[in-house]
Amino acid sequence: QNIIDYLPRLNQFQFNIRSTMLLKNQIDLPSNEDIQYTFKDFLNNKIISCVNYFLENNQGQCHIYSYPYTMRRYENIANNFPGGLFTCVYEVSLYDEHPFEHEFFIRIQKSFPFMKRLAIINKKAQKYKQRKKLKNINQDLFVIKYSHLKRLILDEAHDDYVEQFLLDTKTCLPYGVDLYVDYKPLKRVTYNFKR
């Protein structure tokens, strides 16, 4: 029998769709609004879409899912991540061609409070590393606490992200975190292991 015949009786539909495409001479690329419009008839579901274009890699990525999100993994989060609360997610990966700033990591920590594994893929240096200006007063950055993190993967990350996670002035990690990072960036960030 055809599953389409049963769709009118479907009360709730949970899904997670992630697709990538090569951007070869494409002029008319779909936007978040275009994607949202295709789901206009899903009245009983909150549908989230996130479209990213990575021009350096000639690649587009589209992630569409029903919310609340019930999957255990959330992959390739970029700077335009819409946020939300994802209590079922334990594994997260971040990827972008633009730098991740401290405020982005605050959003990630708040969105994934039970995250156990985090991988960062980003070769771009942060623009605002030390302090942020708030109402013309220099203030220290908010220290981010990752209470449940067990594995941190930084082997494809710029030195700034190694520093972001290893300096206790920016991030607080629990004891016993497995760290995956190349030797040279670790040596640079820690000033030859003396910092």
pLDDT digits (tens, 9 = 90+) for 134-162: 444 444 568 999 999 999 999 999 999 99
Q: With a cut of 70, list the residues of the chain below it in pLDDT.
A: 1-4, 7, 26-28, 130-141
4 is a domain residue? no
Residues 25 and 84 in one domain: no
pLDDT at 112: 98
Residues 120 and 47 in one domain: no
Residue 14 CB neighbours (<10 A): 12
For 107, the domain range is 71-195
Q: In angstroms, what CA-CA distances link 84 with 34, 63, 179?
A: 21, 14, 27
Residues 39 and 126 in one domain: no
**Which of the 8 DSSP states describes residue 130?**
S
1 is a domain residue? no
Which tokens go with 88?
Answer: 């079922």
| C-alpha dihedral, 183 to 186 to 191 to 192, nearest 10° | -30
pLDDT at 12: 74
Q: Which of 67, 89, 115 is the last residue of a domain?
A: 67
87 is a domain residue? yes
Residues 56 and 92 in one domain: no
CA distance 144 to 171: 5
pLDDT at 1: 59
Residues 169 and 100 in one domain: yes
pLDDT in tens, 12-31: 778 899 999 888 876 667 88
189 is a domain residue? yes
CA distance 12 to 14: 7
pLDDT at 133: 44
Please state the domain count of the chain: 2
Residues 38 and 111 in one domain: no
